[in-house]
């Protein structure tokens, strides 16, 4: 295949809007499809434009730079493709298959024990905030950026009133084919009344949105007093993220903001939330860890490493995790 043939194949098989630096996978000089400076953005947490370059990376035909705010430590892509361009990408099946997707994804999304353990933790914290809770009360649950809506089945099985939203036309259509209650919308334009939901989940979503602080404020607006928000994302200061750096699979063009344990906590507080509990890694018991990871890591070495790091996290020793963290916050 000649260089021109490769370029034509890329143009036909994967088309991105004219922003960012677009190249074929070989990244040869003559393979550049389009170069655009993109739009520069300030820090979403503190508003500063004082930053240092952290990573320069390339994937999904997009070359980009991740910077870290010198004032508060939040990391983010800068410059980046315009907000409307980014949001439009999520409706394409091609871009979803290549990683541009607001959705619950990865091996955990298909692990029954993981979902059961997470819902158990949700109810534990919800009852702590609402000591007068009665099982007769129907929990109203919203999964923001739900993808095809795997979590909705688990919530429905618990007798909850379930709703999901996503901005990808493709995944909403696929989820509704499976009988799940998913709307093609975002939080800002959703039809739900304010103070409607008891529990709201944002799983692997906050890093994708163009204005995470505003997204959290909108989430709080839709929650009842005493409601619980569950938000999880990558921890850019985790052991493996620091070890792998720009070679980490989590450093990608669709991840616009990169939090650490402190910056996510500060953004939740700035959005008006009360912090209930933060977790480095998964928010489940060691027993659940062992059962979950025994099905995910077949090789003994991989399983032993993950278990060792899980134990270190549980006793509070550093950010020893593959990349994730989660917070439970209340209104």
pLDDT for res 13:
34
pLDDT for res 271:
98
How many other CB atoms sit within 10 Å of the CB of residue 150?
23
Within the chain, residue ranges assigned H as helices are 3-13, 83-89, 93-97, 112-129, 150-157, 169-177, 212-222, 239-244, 261-270, 286-296, 300-314
Q: Which single residue is written with the structure tokens 């993220």?
A: 241
With 80 as the cut, is the pLDDT of residue 5 above it?
no
Q: Is residue 35 part of a domain?
A: yes
How many domains is the chain partitioned into structurally? Answer: 2
Domain shared by 28 and 140, yes or no: no
Q: Which single residue is written with the structure tokens 């410059």?
A: 79
pTM assigned to the model: 0.80
Q: Is residue 315 part of a domain?
A: yes
133-186 per-position pLDDT tens digit: 998 899 999 999 998 898 999 999 999 999 999 988 888 988 999 999 999 999
305-330 per-position pLDDT tens digit: 555 665 665 554 455 455 578 999 99
CA-to-CA distance for 185 and 82, rounded, in angstroms?
19
Q: Is residue 102 part of a domain?
A: no
Domain shared by 154 and 267, yes or no: yes
Containing domain of residue 9, as a range? Answer: 3-97
CA-to-CA distance for 49 and 262, rounded, in angstroms?
19
Domain shared by 79 and 144, yes or no: no
The DSSP code sequence of 247-265 is GSTT--TT--EE--HHHHH
Q: Is residue 242 part of a domain?
A: yes
Tally of residues, the chain: 331
Band the pLDDT of 216: cuts 50, 70, 90. Answer: very high
Looking at 44, 79, 97, the residue that finishes a domain is 97
* Least confident span in 45-49, 92-96, 252-256: 92-96
Domain shared by 156 and 193, yes or no: yes
Query: Which residues face 326 on adjacent strands?
Result: 232, 279
Q: Is residue 44 part of a domain?
A: yes
Domain shared by 152 and 296, yes or no: yes
Q: Is residue 300 part of a domain?
A: yes
Q: Who contacts 180 (Cβ-Cβ below 8 Å, separation ≥6)?
A: 148, 149, 152, 153, 162, 164
pLDDT for res 111:
72
Domain shared by 90 and 120, yes or no: no
| Mean of all residue pLDDT scores within the chain | 79
pLDDT for res 243:
77
Closest CA to 45 of 275, 279, 264: 264
Domain shared by 324 and 273, yes or no: yes
Domain shared by 76 and 204, yes or no: no
Mean predicted confidence (pLDDT) in 24-44: 59
Mean predicted confidence (pLDDT) in 195-208: 95
Q: Is residue 170 part of a domain?
A: yes
Mean predicted confidence (pLDDT) in 73-77: 96
Domain shared by 89 and 210, yes or no: no
pLDDT for res 34:
38
Q: What is the CATH number of the domain that holds 230?
A: 3.40.50.150
Domain shared by 119 and 18, yes or no: no
With 50 as the cut, is the pLDDT of residue 105 above it?
no
Domain shared by 178 and 287, yes or no: yes
Mean predicted confidence (pLDDT) in 15-37: 41
Looking at 97, 120, 135, the residue that finishes a domain is 97
Higher pLDDT, 29 or 14: 29
Looking at 79, 97, 115, the residue that finishes a domain is 97
pLDDT for res 113:
80
Domain shared by 39 and 115, yes or no: no
């Amino acid at each position: 295949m000649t260089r021109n043939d490769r370029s034509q194949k890329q143009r036909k098989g994967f088309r991105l809007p004219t922003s960012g630096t677009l190249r074929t996978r070989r990244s040869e000089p003559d393979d550049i499809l389009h170069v655009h400076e993109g739009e520069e953005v300030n820090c979403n947490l503190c508003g500063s434009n004082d930053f240092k370059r952290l990573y320069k990376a390339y994937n999904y035909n997009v070359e980009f730079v991740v910077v870290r705010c010198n004032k508060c430590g939040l990391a983010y892509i800068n410059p980046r493709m315009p907000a409307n361009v980014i949001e439009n990408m999520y409706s394409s099946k091609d871009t979803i298959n290549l990683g541009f997707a607001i959705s619950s994804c990865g091996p955990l999304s298909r692990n029954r024990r993981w979902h059961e353990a997470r819902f158990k933790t949700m109810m534990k914290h919800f009852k702590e905030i609402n000591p007068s809770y009665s099982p007769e009360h129907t929990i109203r649950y919203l999964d923001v950026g739900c993808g095809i809506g795997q979590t909705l089945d688990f919530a429905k099985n618990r007798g909850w009133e379930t709703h999901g939203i996503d901005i990808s036309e493709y995944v909403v259509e696929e989820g509704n084919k499976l009988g799940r209650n998913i709307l093609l919308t975002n939080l800002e334009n959703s039809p739900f009344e304010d103070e409607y939901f008891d529990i709201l989940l944002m799983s692997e979503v906050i890093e994708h949105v163009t204005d995470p602080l505003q997204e959290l404020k909108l989430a709080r607006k839709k929650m009842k007093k005493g409601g619980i928000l569950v938000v999880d994302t990558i921890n850019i200061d985790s052991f493996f993220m620091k070890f792998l750096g720009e070679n980490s699979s989590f450093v990608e063009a669709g991840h616009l903001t990169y939090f650490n344990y402190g910056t996510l906590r500060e953004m939740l507080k700035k959005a008006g939330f009360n912090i209930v509990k933060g977790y480095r890694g998964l928010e489940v018991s060691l027993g659940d860890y062992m059962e979950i990871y025994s099905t995910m890591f077949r090789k003994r070495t991989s399983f032993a490493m993950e278990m060792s790091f899980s134990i270190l996290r549980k006793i509070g020793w550093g950010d020893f995790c593959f990349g994730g963290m989660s917070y439970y916050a209340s209104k």
